[in-house]
């Protein structure tokens, strides 16, 4: 399948590394002009160097700013005033016993994981509907459906994203704009490696620590391994394309079969 996104501008939040960087690469290689976002100008500049070295024929631009704040979101939207494809990838996670999660931490998770996406959607969706074409996506998680006991604040914030996605899809009904969530399963990133080593002894070799994590905490996985970021990006690129024009209001799974359900 040849996906051509030439002439489209994409904004991918938290795209200096991990899943976001893989999504930015995938969209750029399909012809989109991609705005790379991170909290600092330095992190974005370093990521742009990496992206341009890996994809010299692609077009990238800088969109630094902390989108978990109103001022940061405004800064990003000023850098990219016309967005055709919005990928809300920013998210934080971490281990915390349920009864030890403070009000302040609950608020932080909603500011970062939920309200950042709401802000940017509010800023980008009107222009998309006026132009009669657009794509909005939210990178959710299997934790939105299978709430992990070790980080319920993260799981609940991702559950909220599914509702946000469905609601904005209704707001865009009939406009030519699609709005979807991507339910990512356990994925191999630097952040996840750090997360795994919060649970297991740091002296364990990575392959052993990963295996122990999957066996003890993610035994439902049917592929029995962590998903690579490029595998998430493949779905995002497809949903960003004209081929996915009839898919909206959906929660599409790239979870390695982790969620034990025959219904998407």
Catalytic annotation, residues: 154
Q: Please state, in angstroms and as integers, the Cα–Cα distance from residue 234 to each residue in 104, 154, 229, 231, following that order.
A: 35, 24, 9, 5
Q: What is the phi/psi pair of residue 71, to 5°?
A: -65, -40
Nearest to 227 by CA among 252, 205, 210: 210
Q: What is the phi/psi pair of residue 215, to 5°?
A: -65, -45
User: Which distant-in-sequence residues (6+ apart) come within 8 Å of 12 by Cβ?
Assistant: 20, 23, 24, 27, 34, 35, 36, 37, 87, 89
Tell me how far apart the alpha carbons of residues 115 and 73 are, in angstroms, rounded to a whole number. Answer: 10
User: What are the tokens at 120?
Assistant: 């940017």
Q: What is the phi/psi pair of residue 207, to 5°?
A: -60, -40
H helices present in 13-115, as ranges: 18-29, 41-54, 70-79, 103-110
Give the relative orientation of helices 41-54 and 18-29 as an angle to the nearest 10 degrees: 50
User: What are the tokens at 203?
Assistant: 């002296």
Tell me how far apart the alpha carbons of residues 32 and 53 are, in angstroms, rounded to a whole number. Answer: 17
Tell me how far apart the alpha carbons of residues 168 and 86 are, in angstroms, rounded to a whole number. Answer: 13
């Amino acid at each position: 399948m040849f996906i051509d996104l030439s002439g489209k501008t994409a904004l991918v939040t938290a795209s200096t590394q991990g899943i976001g960087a893989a999504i930015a690469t995938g969209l750029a290689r399909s012809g989109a002009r991609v705005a790379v976002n991170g909290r600092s100008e330095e992190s974005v500049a370093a990521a742009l160097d990496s992206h341009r070295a890996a994809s010299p024929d692609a077009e990238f631009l800088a969109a630094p700013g902390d989108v978990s704040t109103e001022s940061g979101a405004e800064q990003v939207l000023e850098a990219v005033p016309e967005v055709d494809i919005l990928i809300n990838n920013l998210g934080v996670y971490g281990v915390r016993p349920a009864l030890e999660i403070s009000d302040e931490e609950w608020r932080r998770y909603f500011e970062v994981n939920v309200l950042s996406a709401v802000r940017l959607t509010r800023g980008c969706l009107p222009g998309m509907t006026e132009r009669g074409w657009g794509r909005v996506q939210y990178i959710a998680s299997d934790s939105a459906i299978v709430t992990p006991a070790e980080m319920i604040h993260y799981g609940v914030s991702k559950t909220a994203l599914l509702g946000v996605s469905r609601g904005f899809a209704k707001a865009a009904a009939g406009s030519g704009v699609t709005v979807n969530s991507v339910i990512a399963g356990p994925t191999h990133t630097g952040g996840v490696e750090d997360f795994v080593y919060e649970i297991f002894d740091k002296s364990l070799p990575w392959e052993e620590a990963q295996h122990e994590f999957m066996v003890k905490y993610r035994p439902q996985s049917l592929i029995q391994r962590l998903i690579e970021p490029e595998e998430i990006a493949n779905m995002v690129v497809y949903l960003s394309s004209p081929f996915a024009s009839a898919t909206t209001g959906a929660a599409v799974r790239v979870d390695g079969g982790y969620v034990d359900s025959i219904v998407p």
